[in-house]
């Protein structure tokens, strides 16, 4: 853990200095990391600048497949069945697609650990000091709320990667009915199984793995306090890359859905999306790169100077950019989406069918030769630049959470109403099915279509295994999706709760923190 915190402290100081616009003389006066960090926290504006540094962490550039949160979202999409690479291309994300990264604790899987713990430590640096910093009480409340949000956000990501889903039980894990760690086996509810270490203060002393329940308790406690602080503060965010109470409630809705706290999930999702509409039919084809869209609740705003060029989300997904997507790895949808019939087929009256190139229009005049089913949901604003905003929360997601929570919680009528209101903005002919089981099945389908490419599939797959209404006994199933078995490398099908779904902890962490390794 020492290595992680060493990096975190430096990034906090550097990010904060960058945001406040200080010149080289600032760094000259403070040659040590500690001195720079100390100066940052002398004023509430300095602490606010540190929060800005955390916003910028969302799109930091490390390598051509490691560029902040968007690269993690690509990882979580590749680890599902609906985000299909057309070929090897330049080989970026191939080991992710094959689950090699996750099972070796390498590359993006290691980054998932270090990046999220960097967020945790940076949040703790702020939370350790904010109450004692002089300054405006409203600003302090907003800064503290933002730090609490980011800590909860990081632990939510970590919990979903490094242990099975909250509501599961080892009895569901056939045939072994246990989780075997490097130091022994566990049987029982996953809520009591080892998850990840919890840190609530900046430290270089390693902690043991807390249980899943303890991690989620930390998440919900932080979010409850963050929501109260956001509501008490008169500070208004300057743009959607920053946080507010709607975003905090939106994250709580995600968390509650995993915890199967249906009432809380429905309430939080409904309150989170209050004041946000849905996209127009025209906006559905605008490329999903503009945070000004009225449906976006939270997103990274990435301009020309800040984008990573080839090390960027658009480089990997937009064929027309002459980035990595154009080098032999276009991103396709599950071929069942555009089939003429079937459980996953998108209705012909649904506007979202045009987010991917079908057999009929793939060679339309004026268009480059897209492979069949290649995506066109995400498009750059200008093909001369890789700049483009990245969506991290939308009101449509909140509607789908609310609808699912209502159905799972025994209110199918209300669920159908929420689902109809949303889906009819995409498909005017849509009519929600009746009955809780049919509704949940349809909502899961709508999530796979609507949120495609935005980083949700891996988490959704895990939590669906533990749902009381789940009928998926196969687990991850890439057969009949258009996936290549050669590219998938033995991961065409993975049964629910298989060890392959668990990320292994990076070796660099185990070298300094003697915690048990995942199976």
Per-residue pLDDT reduced to its tens digit, 201-253? 999 999 999 999 999 999 999 999 999 999 999 999 999 999 999 999 999 99
Q: What is the pLDDT of residue 504?
A: 98
Residue 7: pLDDT above 50? no
CA–CA separation, 93 and 71 (whole Å): 10
Q: Is the pLDDT of residue 160 over 70?
A: yes
Tell whether 3 is covered by a domain.
no
Residue 419 covered by a domain: yes
Could you tell me if 391 and 299 are in contact, meaning their C-beta atoms sit under 8 angstroms apart? yes
Q: Is residue 210 part of a domain?
A: yes
pLDDT tens for residues 363-421? Answer: 544 455 778 899 999 999 888 889 899 999 999 999 999 999 999 999 999 999 999 99
Residue 488 lies in a domain: no
Residue for token digits 């689902």?
Answer: 419
- Of all residues in the chain, what percent carry a pLDDT higher than 90? 85
Rounded to two decimals, the pTM is 0.92
The string of pLDDT tens digits covering residues 412-455 is: 999 999 999 999 999 999 999 999 999 999 999 999 999 999 99
What domain count does the chain have?
1
Query: Length of the chain in residues, anyone?
Result: 519
Lowest mean pLDDT among 287-296, 350-359, 510-519: 350-359
Q: Is residue 36 part of a domain?
A: no
297-323 pLDDT per residue, tens: 999 999 888 888 999 999 999 988 889
Handedness of CA 253, 254, 256, 262 (dihedral sign): positive
Q: Give the integer Cα–Cα distance in Å for 125 and 140.
A: 14
Nearest one of 294, 323, 336 to 452, comparing CA atoms: 336
Inside any domain, residue 170: yes
Q: Encoding tokens for residue 480?
A: 């009949």
Question: What would the two tokens of residue 509 be?
Answer: 């962490």
pLDDT at residue 12 greater than cutoff 50: no
CB atoms within 10 A of CB 366: 4
pLDDT the model gives residue 370: 79
User: Can you tell me the distance from the alpha carbon of 372 to that of 393, in angstroms, rounded to the nearest whole number?
Assistant: 29
Alpha-carbon distance of 201 to 187, in angstroms, equals: 31
Whether 12 is covered by a domain: the verdict is no
Share of the chain above pLDDT 70, in %: 91
Q: Do the Cβ atoms of 297 and 247 come closer than 8 Å?
A: yes
Res 517 pLDDT > 80: yes
DSSP type of residue 374: B
How sure is the predictor about 276, in pLDDT bands with cuts at 50, 70 and 90?
very high
185 beta partners? 180
Q: Report the pLDDT value the prediction gives residue 363, as an integer from 0 to 100.
A: 54
Residue 209: burial class (beta carbons within 10 Å; 0-12, 13-18, 19+): buried
Report the CATH number at residue 72.
1.25.40.390
Query: What is the span of the domain harbouring residue 404?
Result: 43-275+285-480+500-513
Among the listed ranges 113-122, 247-256, 359-368, which one has the minimum average pLDDT value? 359-368
Cα 316 from Cα 331, distance rounded (Å): 8
Render pLDDT for 32-88 as a digit per residue (tens, 0 to 9): 333 356 678 999 999 999 999 999 999 999 999 999 999 999 999 999 999 999 999
- Tell me if the bond preceding 175 is cis, omega within 30° of 0: yes
Contacts of 413 (CB under 8 A, 6+ apart): none
The pLDDT tens digits of the residues spanning 480-499 come to 999 999 999 999 999 999 99
CA angle 111, 45, 2 (to 5 degrees): 30
In this prediction, residue 264 carries a pLDDT of: 99
Chain centre distance of CA 325: 21
- B/e letters for 465-480, b = 16+ CB within 10 Å, e = fewer, are bbbeebeeeebbebee
491 located within any domain: no
């Amino acid at each position: 853990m020492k290595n992680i915190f060493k990096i975190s402290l430096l990034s906090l100081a550097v990010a904060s200095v960058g945001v406040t616009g200080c010149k080289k003389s600032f760094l000259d006066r403070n040659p040590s990391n500690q001195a720079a960090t100390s100066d940052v926290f002398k004023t509430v504006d300095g602490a606010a600048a540190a929060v800005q540094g955390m916003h910028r962490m969302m799109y930091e550039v490390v390598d051509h497949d490691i560029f902040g949160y968007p690269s993690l979202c690509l990882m979580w999409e590749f680890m599902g069945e609906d985000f299909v690479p057309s070929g090897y291309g330049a080989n970026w994300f191939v080991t992710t697609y094959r689950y090699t990264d996750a099972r070796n604790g390498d590359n993006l899987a290691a980054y998932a650990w270090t990046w999220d713990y960097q967020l945790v430590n940076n949040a703790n640096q702020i939370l350790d000091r904010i109450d004692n910093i002089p300054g405006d009480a409203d600003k302090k409340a907003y800064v503290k709320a933002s730090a609490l949000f980011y800590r909860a956000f990081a632990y939510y990501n970590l919990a979903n990667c490094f242990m099975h889903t909250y509501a599961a039980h080892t009895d569901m894990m056939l045939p072994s009915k246990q989780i075997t760690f490097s130091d022994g086996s566990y049987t029982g509810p996953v809520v009591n199984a080892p998850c990840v270490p919890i840190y609530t203060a900046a430290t270089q002393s390693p902690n043991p793995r807390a249980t899943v329940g303890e991690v989620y308790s930390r998440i919900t406690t932080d979010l409850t306090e963050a929501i109260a602080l956001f509501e008490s503060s008169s500070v208004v965010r300057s743009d959607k890359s920053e946080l507010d109470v709607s975003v905090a409630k939106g994250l709580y809705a995600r968390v509650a859905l995993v915890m199967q706290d249906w009432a809380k999930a429905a309430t939080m999702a409904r309150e989170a999306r209050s004041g946000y509409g849905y996209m127009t039919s025209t906006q559905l084809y605008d490329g999903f790169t503009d945070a000004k869209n009225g449906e976006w609740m939270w997103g990274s705003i990435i301009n020309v100077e800040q984008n990573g060029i080839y090390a960027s989300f658009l480089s990997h997904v937009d064929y027309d950019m002459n980035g990595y997507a154009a080098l032999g790895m276009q991103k396709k949808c599950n071929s069942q989406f555009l089939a003429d019939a079937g459980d996953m087929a998108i209705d012909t009256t649904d506007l979202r069918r045009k987010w991917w190139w079908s057999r009929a229009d793939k060679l339309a005049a004026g268009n480059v030769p897209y492979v069949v089913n290649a995506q066109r949901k995400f498009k750059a604003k200008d093909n001369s630049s890789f700049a483009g905003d990245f969506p991290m929360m939308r009101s449509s997601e909140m509607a789908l959470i609310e609808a699912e929570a209502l159905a799972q919680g025994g209110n199918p009528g209300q669920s159908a109403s929420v689902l109809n209101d949303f889906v009819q903005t995409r498909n005017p002919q849509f009519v929600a099915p009746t009955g809780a089981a049919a509704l949940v099945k349809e909502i899961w389908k709508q999530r796979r279509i609507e949120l495609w490419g935005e980083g949700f599939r891996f988490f959704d797959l895990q939590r669906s295994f533990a749902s009381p209404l789940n009928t998926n006994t196969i687990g991850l199933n890439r057969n009949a999706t258009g996936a290549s078995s050669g590219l998938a490398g033995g991961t065409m099908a993975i049964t629910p709760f298989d060890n392959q779904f668990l990320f292994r902890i990076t070796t660099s962490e185990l070298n300094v923190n003697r915690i048990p390794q995942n199976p």
